[in-house]
């Protein structure tokens, strides 16, 4: 429970409907082996999991919470004024120290309710409460509440602390109902880095906080930050860093799910906190470790590239790739223009060649009613594209005029495929739709059990597509009936590559699959270390694909073994494109790569200064790709120099389609653009 929760905040951590916080590790470690292991070794990192709960939590939930009456006193010294917050096993009151007769000295009084019937559980609860009191008593920092007293009375234990008049950051965000100001958040983050540096260098033992989140950070009227709720903070014994999974789902780092506590884990949780404050996108409502799927500037276009890079680095999956100290992260935050009063430190965000880049000509733009994440397809003079307003649109390719639209029952992230006089597309409603290209009339629908974010591919009248229901489907293109389906173990958001009666496709279970196109039988599967959402491409006997494990793989098409592997600086969502002897692919590290097809050696790389989740396309010696910074880029395919860039009003995650000298691409600003190539 938060140490000092105020009247007017949204609610306590322990009572929030979508927040899960585990019990202190010491208590869980003392439980029977089968329960303790449930939080340590059986967590599926790909999906949200239930948080382990010990018997004390169940007892507390079942027993009525005793509340002290306003005006009552403790130790003939502390007068209860009013409750500030209620949790599962404790209550925090606003109190007054009566020994100061001439002034009203207020304090926070945290009471632990011993409602558990089991004596062993009661002892563990007491131990953990005493542990928090003892830990706080050793800490002296302006951003940590001071401890005034600790005592037991009437079978309850009390901790008397400094009262912080203010709000927690979650309450501030809730009141704003929008992303918070970047400079304000950066100044808070600098203060948090200071206190993390202090506890991480605490002597004689390092302390890891382990539960950084907005509701555990208070801000007062002077913008002073105070870190609260040290109930699960842990002295780090260098010889034994393992424990039980602890923290809050969505904010906790990957290694904490495995019971590993390290200072860089606090920096990950700080990154998750900053992501939440700057985007208003709650990580507790998302699958853990999927921040790369929610680029910050997609939610907050005003955010600077500097701040986004700082947060993205803090949220690296691998510990070694994050900021290695709170001081290092603090220095990066202080370099953001305008953060330090009276200073303006200029940090270049792009190479000089980009700033001097030429502009291209806008041929037309067509406005839809929501974000365009889908990639366009051009056929017979018509541009087809899906939109999050649930529609697939048909637009005249030459003039940008509306032809027709067809509404599904969910947003459309999938990209359309055209086969004969049919256009096929998947929807978030779980359906694959086949429409007449001329009028948009529905020909058939095939339903799956979950959203379809994979894009359909057609070969010899058979449609291949993946679904979030964990299946890869082969459908009859004439009727929409299922020919076969293959079960994987996580959603399929990659799209198929078809070559010589074999389909190659990636899965969120981290595997690249090679399936027989006629029967769905497995030829081989190759595991990477993270989900594969990139769509494979075939070239020179290799299947080339990116993975969220930060690698681009060249896999032998016959056996699946890696012929080469190229390490990038971040996740790879982008799908590769082969032209001649080179493969082009974008990275979340902000780089567009040109690699040798046969060896994976880098020929050149082009920095755009922000994430690339769009997939490049090549035409007439030029590479076209979209960036999360809102630009569409045109780069020389031979040497990686910028030819032109075009600014849209939001992130571009759509991939371009080049036809008759025109680049067609969608943007999250609701517009479909036609640009001169």
- The domains of the chain, with CATH numbers, are 25-334 (1.10.510.10), 350-376+575-677 (2.40.128.630)
CB 578 within 8 Å of CB 544:
yes
Helix, strand or coil, per DSSP, at residue 456: coil
Is 110 among the annotated ligand-binding positions?
Answer: yes
Q: How far is the CA of 476 from the CAs of 129, 424, 489, 493, 503, in angstroms?
A: 63, 12, 24, 20, 16
Q: Tell the burial category of 451 from Cβ atoms under 10 Å away from its Cβ (0-12, 13-18, 19+).
A: buried
Q: Which residue stretches of the chain have pLDDT < 50?
A: 1-64, 238-241, 341-356
Cα-Cα end-to-end distance for the chain = 57
Whether pTM exceeds 0.75: no
Distance of alpha carbon 375 from alpha carbon 490, whole angstroms: 24
Query: What pLDDT was estimated at residue 124?
Result: 65
Find all residues with CB under 8 Å of 44, minimum gap 6, and list them.
Answer: none
Distance of alpha carbon 570 from alpha carbon 567, whole angstroms: 8
Tokens linked to 455: 């894009």
Query: What pLDDT was estimated at residue 486?
Result: 96
Tokens linked to 239: 């010889």
Query: What pLDDT was estimated at residue 101?
Result: 75
Q: How far is the CA of 674 from the CAs of 362, 403, 414, in angstroms?
A: 6, 16, 20
CB 663 within 8 Å of CB 624:
yes
- Rg of the chain over Cα atoms, rounded to whole angstroms, equals 28
3-state SS record for 356-401? CCECCCEEEEEECCCCCCCCCEEECCEEEEECCCCEEEEEECCCCC
Query: What pLDDT was estimated at residue 372?
Result: 94
Distance of alpha carbon 615 from alpha carbon 158, whole angstroms: 58
């Amino acid at each position: 429970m938060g140490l000092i929760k105020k009247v007017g905040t949204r609610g306590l951590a322990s009572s929030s409907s979508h927040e899960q916080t585990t019990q202190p590790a010491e208590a869980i470690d003392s439980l029977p082996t089968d329960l303790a292991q449930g939080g340590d070794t059986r967590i599926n990192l790909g999906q949200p999991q239930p948080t382990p709960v010990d018997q004390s939590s169940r007892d507390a939930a079942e027993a009525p919470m005793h509340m002290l009456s306003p005006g009552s006193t403790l130790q003939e010294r502390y007068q209860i004024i009013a409750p500030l917050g209620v949790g599962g096993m404790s209550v925090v009151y606003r109190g007054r120290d009566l020994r100061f007769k001439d002034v009203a000295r207020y304090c926070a009084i945290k009471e632990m309710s011993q409602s558990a019937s089991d004596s062993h559980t009661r002892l563990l609860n007491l131990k953990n409460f005493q542990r928090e009191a003892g830990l706080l008593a050793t800490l002296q920092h302006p951003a940590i509440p001071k401890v005034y007293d600790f005592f037991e009375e009437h079978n309850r234990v009390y901790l008397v602390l400094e009262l912080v008049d203010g709000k927690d950051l979650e309450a501030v965000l809730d009141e704003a109902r929008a992303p918070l100001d970047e400079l304000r958040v950066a100044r808070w983050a600098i203060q948090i880095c200071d206190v993390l540096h202090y506890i991480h260098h605490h002597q004689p033992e390092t302390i890891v906080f382990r539960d950084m989140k907005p509701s555990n950070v208070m801000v007062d009227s002077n913008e002073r930050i105070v870190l609260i709720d040290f109930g699960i903070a842990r002295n780090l014994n260098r010889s034994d860093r393992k424990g039980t999974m602890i923290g809050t789902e969505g904010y906790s780092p990957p290694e904490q799910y495995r019971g590993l506590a390290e200072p860089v884990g606090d920096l990950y949780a700080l990154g998750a906190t900053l992501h939440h404050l700057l985007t208003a996108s709650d990580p507790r409502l998302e699958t853990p470790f999927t921040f790369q799927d929610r680029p910050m500037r997609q939610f907050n276009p005003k955010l600077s590239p500097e701040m986004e890079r700082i947060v993205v680095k803090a949220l690296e999956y691998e510990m070694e790739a994050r900021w290695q100290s709170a001081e290092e992260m603090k220095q990066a935050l202080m370099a953001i223009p305008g953060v330090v009063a009276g200073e303006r430190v200029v940090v270049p965000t792009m190479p000089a060649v980009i700033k001097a880049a030429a502009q291209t000509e806008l041929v037309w733009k067509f406005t839809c009613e929501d974000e365009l994440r889908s990639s366009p397809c051009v056929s017979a003079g018509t541009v087809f594209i899906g939109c999050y307003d649930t529609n697939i649109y048909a637009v005249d390719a030459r003039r940008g005029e509306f032809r027709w639209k067809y509404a599904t029952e969910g947003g459309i992230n999938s990209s359309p495929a055209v086969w004969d006089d049919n256009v096929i597309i998947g929807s978030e409603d779980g359906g694959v739709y086949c429409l007449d290209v001329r009028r948009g009339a529905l020909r058939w629908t095939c339903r799956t059990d979950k959203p379809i974010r994979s894009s359909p591919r057609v070969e010899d009248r058979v449609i291949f597509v993946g679904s979030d229901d964990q299946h890869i489907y082969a459908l009859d293109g004439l009727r929409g009936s299922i020919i076969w389906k293959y079960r994987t173990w996580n959603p399929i958001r990659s799209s198929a590559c078809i070559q010589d009666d074999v389909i190659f496709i990636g899965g969120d279970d981290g595997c690249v699959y090679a399936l027989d196109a006629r029967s769905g039988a497995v030829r081989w599967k190759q595991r990477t270390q993270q989900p594969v959402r990139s769509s494979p491409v075939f070239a020179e006997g290799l299947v080339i694909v990116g993975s969220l494990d930060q690698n681009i793989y060249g896999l032998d098409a016959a056996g699946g073994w890696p012929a080469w592997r190229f390490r990038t600086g971040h996740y790879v969502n982008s799908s590769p494109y082969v032209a001649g002897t080179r493969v082009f692919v974008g990275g979340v590290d902000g780089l567009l790569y040109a690699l040798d097809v046969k060896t994976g050696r880098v020929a050149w790389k082009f920095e755009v200064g922000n994430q690339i989740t769009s997939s490049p396309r090549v035409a007439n010696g030029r590479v076209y790709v979209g960036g999360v910074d809102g630009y569409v880029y045109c780069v020389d395919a031979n040497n990686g120099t910028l030819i032109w860039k075009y600014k849209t009003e939001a992130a571009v995650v759509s991939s371009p389609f080049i036809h008759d000298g025109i680049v067609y691409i969608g943007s999250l600003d609701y517009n479909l653009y036609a640009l001169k190539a």
